[in-house]
Chains A and B, each alone.
Chain A
Amino acid sequence: MKLTELFDKGEFVITSEVGPVKGCLRSNEGGKLPQCAQEAEMVRGHIHAINVTDNQSAVMRLGSLAASVRLKERGFEPIYQMTCRDRNRIALQSDLLGACSLGIDNVLCLTGDYTSLGDHKSAKSVFDIDSVQLLKIAKGLNEGRDMMGNALTQSTNLALGAVVNPNFEPLDLQLLKMEKKIEAGAEFFQTQAVYDPAVFERMTKKTDKFGVPIQYGIVIVKSPQMGKFMNENVSGVNVPDWIIKEMGSVSKEDRKKKAVEITIRLIREIKPMAQGIHFMPLGWSDIVPDIVKATV
């Protein structure tokens, strides 16, 4: 099912992210589910779709497409994330055809974290095309032609998603790119993690007129250390002091409870400005259902 169908119906769309395992999924290891499937099971019934990351942070793992297909087989609706870092325009188009052929309905087109941030720092970065161009190319495939104008025997039929970072300064530059993404073919957006409702509002005041649905993105802050780490090492994200303090004010055992509480608070404030939520739980998928129950 395409996410755009839900947005069109006025649904408040909930998605959650899983990162594929660093390994393959050939044997089922005595019935034990791989981590990404376990996390998907934790949110089953509480979300509309699951984002499957593409070698996130430039760390080599199972590919997003393979993991997306496996999740689809288990009854989940995957959003296949595709970055421009590792494949040229031939491979990207080919994988989009492959994704559609394998039953994928949703793709999220991103630039991708830079190679040197990951675990194969000496790899050659590709970045043959950028995310705006990828969206335009994917739209073309939906319309039955490749980027060179050659006809396809069968068109793709993919809902095209994109990302925007409301924290970006200057915001107008980020929104200029967002508008280009919309013109290129983006049908829905997920945001980078935002922890300040005022930051989200600053964006939506300018983006409401764009007429595309935007899901509020949130990375669950699991500890005060993680909050500080994100501020120091994850560009484009600002975890405010109050979250770091509150996460530090409780014992380790109570952190999940605290994270639920903080996330609920943020979502309640931001929800009226968004058309959905995108969770990035980074291993804490088990708390997503409680947050969804309390907020949606």
Chain B
Amino acid sequence: MIGTTPKPFEEISRALENYEKVAVIGCDGCAKVCMTGGSDQVVEMAEKLKEKGKTVLFALSPERTCYVGKTKTALDPHLDKLKSADAVLVLGCGGAVQITRKVIEDYDLTIPVKVGLDSVGHMDTLIMGELAIEQCQECGECILNETGGICPVTKCAKSLLNGPCGGAQDGKCEVDSERYCAWILIYNRMAALGELDKLRRFMAPKDYSKMAKPRRLNIKERRVE
């Protein structure tokens, strides 16, 4: 999922200060899992905005706000109200905000779309409702086959491909003493698998052109363009 955290309400208030009638749109996908923009949170946000004197035209959370079709389906019944909106506040990832803007533009409407969350990356949920961690950078060139299923590009702070730096202490990373050194994890995993020799292979510099932004995914042909 895409991890999100709420922006401070003061920041949201500032972003909306010149707008009176506001629609709140969340996301029942990732933002719901993060408890930042699901159906409960859009209602809470609507209440807060009303307390601030705003008129909230509607508050809803599409099933997946990053899907154009799902967002449009959720907004279609509210089009009349949307036409009168001074601004739309999206409680979703940066993608959800931009898909919402596109859907609104496709209605031939020009309404400012504001964001109420900060997106913090691709996150994997370890404990539902409590903890998610970052494990994948979507680098376009997966090397998990060579590293025992543990990604050094993401889990090593320095993205080292050929082994650890010298900074680990008691198995923990020099950058964060709460976190295990990714390369020690990889080493232990490869030892358990009886594949330590594979770590001796020189890993060439990554092809970062595969991460050149913004990527386009041709879903039909299953390739990045």
Contacts and interface: CB of A to CB of B under 8 A. Distances in A.
Given A130-B158, A132-B202, A168 B164 contact: yes
Contacts, number: 93
Contacts of B172: 235
Contacts of A170: 184, 187
A84 B161 CA distance: 13
A180 B166 contact: no
Given A116-B175, A170-B184, A128 B208 contact: yes
- Interface centre among A114, A116, A179, by most B CB within 10 Å? A114
B127 interface: no
Contacts of A165: 166-167
A113 B166 CA distance: 10
Given A163-B166, A164-B166, A235-B168, A133 B205 contact: yes
B162 A174 contact: no
Interface in A111-145: 111-114, 116-117, 125, 127-133, 136
B159 interface: yes
Contacts of B200: 176, 179-180
A267 B196 CA distance: 35
A184 B199 contact: no
Nearest to B183: A173
Contacts of A206: none
A236 B202 contact: no
A130 B174 contact: no
Given A114-B175, A169-B171, A170-B184, A129 B166 contact: no
Interface in B141-197: 157-172, 174-175, 177, 183-184, 187, 196
Nearest to A237: B169
A133 B201 CA distance: 12
Contacts of A129: 205
A170 B196 CA distance: 13
Nearest to B174: A235
B180 to A, nearest CB: 12
A192 B169 CA distance: 13
Contacts of B159: 127, 130
Contact of A130 (B161, B166, B168, B169): B161
B204 interface: yes
Nearest to B176: A116
A183 interface: yes
B189 to A, nearest CB: 12
Question: What are the 9 A-B residue pairs with the smallest beta carbon separation, nearest first?
Answer: A165-B166, A177-B163, A235-B174, A132-B162, A235-B169, A235-B167, A111-B165, A130-B160, A127-B158
Interface of B: 157-172, 174-175, 177, 183-184, 187, 196, 199-200, 202-205, 208
14 contacts: A84-B158, A111-B166, A114-B157, A116-B175, A125-B158, A128-B205, A130-B158, A130-B160, A132-B162, A132-B202, A133-B162, A169-B171, A176-B187, A235-B167
Interface of A: 84-85, 89, 111-114, 116-117, 125, 127-133, 136, 147, 163-165, 167-170, 173-174, 176-177, 179-180, 183-184, 192, 235-236
Given A114-B175, A132-B202, A176-B196, 20 more contacts: A111-B160, A113-B167, A114-B158, A114-B167, A127-B159, A130-B158, A133-B161, A133-B162, A133-B203, A133-B205, A163-B166, A168-B164, A170-B184, A173-B164, A174-B166, A176-B200, A180-B163, A180-B200, A180-B202, A235-B168
